[in-house]
Each structure stands twice: as C-alpha cells, then as structure tokens.
Amino acid sequence: MKLTLPPGTFKAYLFDCDGTIVDSMPLHYIAWKTALGEWGCPFDEQLFYAWGGLPVATIISTLNERQRLQMPVEAVAERKEALYYEMLPQLQAVPEVLEHIALSYGHVPFAVVSGSTRDSVTASLEALHLLNHFETLVCAGDYSRSKPDPEPFLLAAARLGVAPEDCLVFEDTVMGIEAATAAGMASVKVPQPWERTSQG
C-alpha cells in the first residue's frame, strides 16, 4: 500500500521514529513484556499501542500507579532498552515511509520527533543506515511536555528554521497526529503493522 500525502508544498518533513520510520513496535513490545514481567507487571498489547509516543519513564511511572507497584523507573527503563538493543538485528524499515525518505532526501530537510530516548532512536536509525538523513533528532529529554502536546514538533520546526504550517508530519499514533494538529502542521497517518499486512 502507498501513503497518500496531503496536498501542498512542504519545506520540511518531521518523522516519528518507532512505528513510523522503523517497524520497531513489535520488538519494543517484546522488550516491554520481558522487562515488566520480571516485576510481575502485565502490559496489554492494545494499551502499549495506545500509549505509543509516551516516554519510557512515563509509561513505567503510570503502570506503577495503576497497578500499585514500586518498580524502579530508571532500572526498568534501562533493562527494557537493553532488551530492545539485543533485537536490533531483526529491525526493518516501514517500506511506505522509507519510499518517501528516499524520494525527498536532499530536497527538504528531515527531523525525527520521538518519545524514545536519543540512544534508542540513534541505535534504530543506525541499524538501518538512515541516521545521516536527518538534520536533527528531537527525543525524550529535549522537551518538557510530550505528545499529544505540540512542543516536540514545534521544537523540531524551530531547529530546522521552518514555519510549523510548512512542515509535514509522519506519525503512526493518534497521540502523535493530535500533537501535529495542535502544532498547526499537516500530517500523514502511517498504518500499524496489522493494518499494513491486512491491506497487502
């Protein structure tokens, strides 16, 4: 299937990373299940996808509150990231998005806007030899309010020196699309893994 871009001329493309550029969400879920399982913390797959775009630390803190657990946030986050890194050799790009990166690279500047850590984003992009395609990476820790707040996208636009209305956002989550809309940016919804396979 192809991604249909909204009409208009855009001066910058802003990409979410996990589930948008890289088909990493299934691998992230395995890492989450393993890391949280060590603390007896279940994590439903639907909830995992619904929370796509939230910083790792926020997810662990929220699960602690919901399930009355006291998981050490930093230790669990490090464990989850380490498990994900072990699976990086299995990582693949999302073909529909990769096509647009290949078509537009060198014509408009690119940024990554992610709720993941800089280390995780860098490792994912390096695994697919894509890191050098992006002028800037906006990751967890670079902003105070995460998606669906528009701050991460507005920060990326400012770094690129492009007005928000001239940016096109590629996102796989509802939260990310809401953030792009709040930032005054056009967006493209990237289908989830099961949506892509069901449509061939």
- Which pLDDT does position 16 carry in this prediction? 97
- Which pLDDT does position 28 carry in this prediction? 94
Burial of 166 (0-12, 13-18, 19+ CB in 10 A): middle
Reply yes or no on whether 16 is catalytic.
yes
- Which pLDDT does position 197 carry in this prediction? 65
Among 16, 18, 23, 172, the one annotated catalytic = 16
Residue 93 token pair: 């790009």
**Range(s) for CATH 1.10.150 in the chain?**
25-88
What is the Cα–Cα distance from 159 to 65, expressed in whole angstroms? 35
**Range(s) for CATH 3.40.50.1000 in the chain?**
12-24+91-198
CATH fold of 12-24+91-198 reads Rossmann fold (3.40.50)
Q: What is the CATH number of domain 25-88?
A: 1.10.150
> For the chain, which ranges sit under pLDDT 50?
199-200
